[in-house]
């Protein structure tokens, strides 16, 4: 345990999906294959330490190992679990949720729903993850091995709108479940509450008590001047030297700060401070994370930064203490509040590690890499890795023409700011209207691929701007008569766009810009010479998530999914991510 910590069965488990998505051994990308690595190889690191969209990170140390868990929303499998020995180099080792409960509810995409901010702890030889589904309550899963298998989710608290759970056990052994609130479900927000836990930690008991009400707190001094506490959420409770420390970000996700409240009593009253904000840096909204202590006694803090289409990337900050208050990052002006570090020395570690990052490329050698997630609970026949060894076969699944409503999208996080993805596609449709391709997905999306029409197969690019608002798609035909096998490629680089001012003040100038991926789509008939199609596409994030890249094979709307003799499939031979 970290030294600052005092110390109905739900759902259908789709066995074939679990085999495909979870059975593969954890893999990492060596430095030669990565567009960006945090470990500089000289004893220092660059932020972010996780360039992918690992929102709302929480971390626990067990011995020499650190385990990180993050939100996954509507993506399946859910609750990604990563391991590190130095807080810089991370490997994805599994997921705690093969499917999302309730199974029927999550059989379709729930954009902005599903698994919100989790918390991971290790207690009495068990790993415990508390996570919220804001439409149903707070759940618990447990395991002896963080790589799995994990238990079926247990509903710990059925209060709709309770989010961001964080368990805490006091010195007397009494457990507490701290939570924030989503106004969209509960009608309240900007408030942190606590309920007692039973001895097993799997049920809350008694009435909730309020620890911090942002509406009643005095304004906090930030580097932009005094500001009211607003959108206070993401709580984590710790104890140190007789003080209770409630970590909770505030001030909005993209433009806020990391707050800490302290009290001599768990039940308060609490006094709050800003201990980390953007300051003079360009690093907007350091938000929601976890304090962790190394075996040698160093304190560190991991948090996310909202970077629009690139998602919520994870940063690592040094953490020090002054007058009983934590300072996160570097306090260059000695005002008691830190700023994010762009680079720093690595945490002390007794275990050597090589520069690495979670895998993204996939050769489909018997199992899907852990990087892949569906957009809803899958059916067992959506993916096939046996018909052609080394090839992923996706069955054409019927869904709305608007992919925003499609669950059978196989996607992963954007791997870095600049990247190129290539895949070889072989199309075997049986019905007019089937289509398949390589996708940049979000509230705006674009894909390149093959489409089966009355006159045969054509190679197309499809854009849909405002997919979340059900705007029409735009189709550009590159080849009216296309072969069954083509190579597809997308290349991406960051582009900065202007934003209107937010509806609150004061705010940091970084709120006036957003970062997205400018994407070029191209195809080849021989795997060597690629031809661009259309103008560059600018990505947009999804609901609480960044943009995603992926593959899909779609049947016409209204086609029964069990009529396999009437619909076809698409084979994908490799998914190669390069610089």
Cis peptide before 104 (omega within 30 of 0): no
Say if residue 26's pLDDT is above 80.
no
- Greater model confidence, 130 or 353: 130
Task: Classify 366 in phi/psi space as left (phi over 0), alpha (psi -120 to 50) or beta.
Answer: left
Lowest-confidence range among 20-34, 112-126, 185-199? 20-34
Per-residue confidence band for 251, with pLDDT thresholds at 50, 70 and 90: very high
Per-residue confidence band for 21, with pLDDT thresholds at 50, 70 and 90: very low
Average pLDDT over residues 509-533: 97
Task: Classify 502 in phi/psi space as left (phi over 0), alpha (psi -120 to 50) or beta.
Answer: beta
Enumerate domains of the chain plus CATH numbers: 15-19+38-358 (2.115.10.20), 383-578 (2.60.120.200)
Average pLDDT over residues 18-40: 52
3-state helix, strand, coil in the chain (%, to 5): 5, 45, 50
Tracing tokens 């030889």 back to the chain, one arrives at 125
Q: Supply the pLDDT for residue 559.
A: 67
Give the tens place of pLDDT for each residue, 119-138: 999 999 999 999 999 999 99
Lowest-confidence range among 1-10, 254-263, 273-282, 412-421? 1-10
- Cα separation of 301 and 445, whole Å? 34
Q: Which of 174, 155, 176 is nearest to 166 (CA)?
A: 176
DSSP per residue, 480-514: SS--SEEEEEEEEEEEEEE-PPPSSSS--GGGGEE
Structure token pair of residue 549? 């890249």
> Do 247 and 56 meet the contact criterion of CB atoms below 8 Å apart?
no
Average pLDDT over residues 91-105: 98
- Greater model confidence, 211 or 567: 211
Q: Which of 508, 512, 87 is nearest to 257 (CA)?
A: 508
3-state SS track over 400-419 = CCCHHHCCCEEEEECCCCCE
- Cα separation of 168 and 386, whole Å? 46
**Judging by beta carbons within 10 Å of its beta carbon (0-12, 13-18, 19+), is residue 151 exposed, middle or buried?**
middle
> Do 25 and 368 meet the contact criterion of CB atoms below 8 Å apart?
no
**What residues pair up with 205 in beta bridges, in sequence order?**
196
Per-residue confidence band for 563, with pLDDT thresholds at 50, 70 and 90: low
Q: Supply the pLDDT for residue 579.
A: 73
For the chain, state the CA radius of gyration: 24
Structure token pair of residue 414? 């954007």
Exposure b/e, 227-255, CB count within 10 A at least 16 = b = bebebbbbbbbbbbeeebbbbbbbbbbbb
pTM of the model: 0.93
> Do 166 and 235 meet the contact criterion of CB atoms below 8 Å apart?
yes
Average pLDDT over residues 106-127: 98
Q: Which residues contact 479 (CB under 8 A, 6 or more apart)?
A: 458, 459, 523
Question: Average model confidence (pLDDT) for the chain?
Answer: 93
Q: Which residues contact 107 (CB under 8 A, 6 or more apart)?
A: 376, 377, 407
Q: Which residues contact 353 (CB under 8 A, 6 or more apart)?
A: 39, 84, 85, 86, 88, 89
Secondary structure (3-state) at 21: helix
Q: Which residues contact 85 (CB under 8 A, 6 or more apart)?
A: 64, 65, 66, 349, 351, 353
Q: Supply the pLDDT for residue 556.
A: 87
| Residues with active-site annotation | 56, 233
- Cα separation of 457 and 477, whole Å? 11
Q: Which of 279, 213, 295 is nearest to 246 (CA)?
A: 213
Structure token pair of residue 28? 């990492």
Q: Which of 426, 457, 421 is nearest to 441 (CA)?
A: 421
Give the tens place of pLDDT for each residue, 416-470: 999 999 999 999 999 999 999 999 999 999 999 999 999 999 999 999 999 999 9
Q: Which residues contact 218 (CB under 8 A, 6 or more apart)?
A: none
Q: Which of 292, 300, 297, 247 is nearest to 274 (CA)?
A: 247
């Amino acid at each position: 345990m970290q030294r600052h910590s005092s110390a109905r069965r739900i759902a259908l488990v789709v066995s074939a999906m679990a085999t495909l998505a979870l059975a593969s051994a954890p893999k990492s990308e060596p430095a030669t294959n990565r567009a960006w690595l945090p470990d500089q190889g000289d004893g220092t690191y660059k932020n972010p330490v996780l360039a992918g969209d690992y929102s709302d990170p929480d971390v626990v140390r067990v011995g020499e190992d650190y385990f990180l868990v993050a939100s996954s929303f509507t993506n399946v499998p859910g609750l990604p679990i990563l391991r590190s020995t130095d807080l810089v180099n991370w490997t994805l080792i599994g997921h705690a949720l093969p499917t999302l409960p309730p199974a029927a509810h999550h059989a379709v995409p729930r954009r902005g729903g599903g698994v919100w901010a989790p918390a991971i702890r290790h207690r009495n030889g068990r790993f415990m993850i508390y996570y919220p589904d804001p439409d149903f309550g707070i759940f618990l899963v447990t395991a002896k091995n963080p790589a799995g298998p994990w238990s079926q989710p247990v509903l710990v608290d059925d209060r709709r709108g309770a989010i961001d759970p964080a368990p805490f056990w006091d010195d007397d052994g009494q457990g507490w479940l701290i939570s924030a609130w989503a106004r969209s479900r509960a009608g309240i927000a900007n408030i942190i509450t606590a309920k007692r836990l039973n001895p097993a930690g799997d049920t809350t008991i008694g009435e909730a008590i309020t620890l911090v009400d942002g509406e009643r707190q005095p304004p906090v001094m930030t580097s932009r001047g005094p500001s009211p506490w607003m959108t206070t959420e993401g709580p984590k409770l710790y104890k140190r030297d007789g003080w209770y420390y409630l970590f909770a970000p505030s001030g909005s996700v993209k433009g806020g700060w990391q707050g800490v409240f302290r009290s001599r009593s768990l039940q308060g009253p609490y006094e709050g401070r800003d201990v980390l904000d953007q300051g003079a840096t360009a690093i907007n909204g350091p938000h929601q994370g976890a304090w962790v202590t190394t075996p040698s006694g160093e304190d560190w803090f991991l948090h996310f930064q909202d970077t629009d289409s690139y998602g919520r990337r994870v940063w690592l900050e040094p953490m020090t203490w002054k007058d009983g208050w934590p300072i996160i990052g570097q306090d260059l002006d000695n005002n008691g509040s830190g700023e994010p570090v762009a680079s720093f020395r690595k945490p002390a570690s007794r275990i050597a590690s090589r520069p690495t990052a979670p895998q993204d490329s996939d050769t489909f050698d018997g199992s899907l890499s852990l990087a892949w997630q569906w957009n809803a609970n899958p059916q067992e026949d959506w993916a096939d890795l046996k018909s052609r060894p080394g090839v992923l076969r996706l069955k054409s699944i019927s869904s709305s023409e608007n992919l925003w409503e499609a669950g059978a999208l196989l996607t992963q996080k954007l791997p870095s700011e600049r990247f190129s993805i290539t895949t070889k596609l072989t199309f075997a449709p049986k019905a007019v209207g089937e289509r398949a391709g390589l996708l940049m997905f979000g509230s705006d999306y674009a894909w390149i691929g093959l489409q089966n029409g009355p006159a045969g197969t054509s190679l197309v690019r499809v854009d849909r701007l405002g997919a979340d608002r059900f705007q029409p798609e735009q189709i550009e035909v590159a080849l009216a008569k296309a072969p069954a096998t083509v190579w597809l490629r997308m290349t991406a680089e960051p582009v900065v766009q202007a934003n209107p001012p937010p509806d609150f003040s004061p705010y940091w100038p970084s709120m006036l810009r957003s970062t997205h991926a400018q994407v070029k789509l191209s195809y080849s008939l021989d795997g060597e010479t690629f031809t661009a199609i259309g103008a560059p596409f600018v990505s947009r994030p999804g609901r609480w998530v960044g943009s995603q890249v992926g593959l899909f094979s779609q049947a016409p709307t209204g086609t029964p999914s069990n009529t396999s003799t009437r619909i076809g499939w698409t084979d994908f031979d490799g998914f190669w991510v390069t610089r």
